Amino acid sequence: MKNVKDIMIKAREEKILIPAMNTPYPEMMKPIIRAVADTNSFALIEVARVEWEKFGAISTEVIYREYEKHRYPEHVRLHLDHVPVIDEDGLRVDYRSIIQTALNLGYESVMIDASRLDLDGNIAAAKEVVNIAHARNVPVEAELGAVLGHEAGPLPPYEELFSTGKGFTDIDEAIRFVKESGTDWLSVAVGSIHGAVSGAAASEKKVTARINQEHLAAIDKALGIPLVLHGGSGIDLANVREAATHGISKLNIGTDIRQVWEKTLASSGNKAAEDALYERVKEIITDELQVAGSAARLLV
């Protein structure tokens, strides 16, 4: 069976989006995997450090054990999302031990996020993780540019961010980054923003973001590797689908499905939350991203 690295390369060639669904609560995994399988599509399940620090994911191990119970490699694989070198509160993180633990458990791809360091620091951290992960045949995602939103405190106005291109991934830096770090996939900043993870904003609706397609296309042409779009909840849908034609192979979806889970769980309990999440994931795959049936095309 194809590994995730080959599946992502195929997705880029075929211009098919792979949704990467965040599971800040382990109970979210079962309905998500069922929806992915029932639509004959392919998705990643992922968990980020912030989701066991600030939400209910508990640990990489708890998420892995839940994944083992529902494992379905023809449709889903498990990815370790953001392991920051410096976290959203500005604190240093022991990223090596987190990534090593995930590799030992059997995570099938991992992300190192040193995007809060300068370019040389970001390259050095990514390269180090690439060496550790590649020794286990596990592909690595890194991030270059500033996909804002996780930080505490208010964001600058979205239109100002978009029109100035502040924090967007620089093409020359990206060429150097990929060459020197050896990263397999690159998370780029081209207009999307992360959902809030703290305060009242974490349960509010996100601002609708757009993608600078020309800039994305130029990055894609320069790099030739699968690109990743973070902050997939609340991007204009036509923009998201067009991004898949410019190298975006993996789309991270966190806030949207987390809020469906949390709100339904609070009002109507566990069974209703499972049903609501299942329906929402089906809708995202079928109607919004239009990738139903993708498993057959990606895994051949």
Which residues would be at the binding site for Zn ion (CB under 5 A)? 230
| Residues forming a β-bridge with 78 | 45
| DSSP annotation of 61 | H
31 vs 149, beta carbon nearer Zn ion = 149
| Residues forming a β-bridge with 235 | 209
Alpha helix (H) ranges present in 108-227?
119-134, 158-164, 171-181, 213-223
Say which of 81, 113, 184, 256 is annotated catalytic. 81
Burial class (CB in 10 A: 0-12, 13-18, 19+), 114: buried
Cβ partners under 8 Å of residue 30, min gap 6: 66, 69, 70, 274
User: Residue 188 CB, nearest distance to Zn ion (Å)?
Assistant: 11
Instruction: Give the Cα separation of 293 and 117 in Å (integer).
Output: 40
> Scanning the structure block, which residue is given the tokens 């949390």?
262
User: Residue 297 CB, nearest distance to Zn ion (Å)?
Assistant: 26
User: Residue 208 CB, nearest distance to Zn ion (Å)?
Assistant: 18
Is 172 annotated as catalytic? no
User: Residue 187 CB, nearest distance to Zn ion (Å)?
Assistant: 7
Lookup: tokens for 98? 């987190």
Instruction: Give the Cα separation of 63 and 46 in Å (integer).
Output: 9
75 vs 230, beta carbon nearer Zn ion = 230
SS3 78: strand
| DSSP annotation of 150 | S
230 vs 241, beta carbon nearer Zn ion = 230
148 vs 292, beta carbon nearer Zn ion = 148
SS3 30: helix
Cβ partners under 8 Å of residue 255, min gap 6: 195, 196, 206, 233, 234
Cβ partners under 8 Å of residue 289, min gap 6: 17, 19, 240, 241, 251
CA dihedral 290, 68, 107, 31 (to 10 degrees): 30
* Residue pair 251/289 in contact by the 8 Å Cβ criterion: yes
User: Residue 185 CB, nearest distance to Zn ion (Å)?
Assistant: 12
Count, residues in the chain: 300
User: Residue 115 CB, nearest distance to Zn ion (Å)?
Assistant: 10
Tell me the residue nearest to Zn ion as measured from the CB: 230
155 vs 299, beta carbon nearer Zn ion = 155
Q: Which residues are catalytic?
A: 81
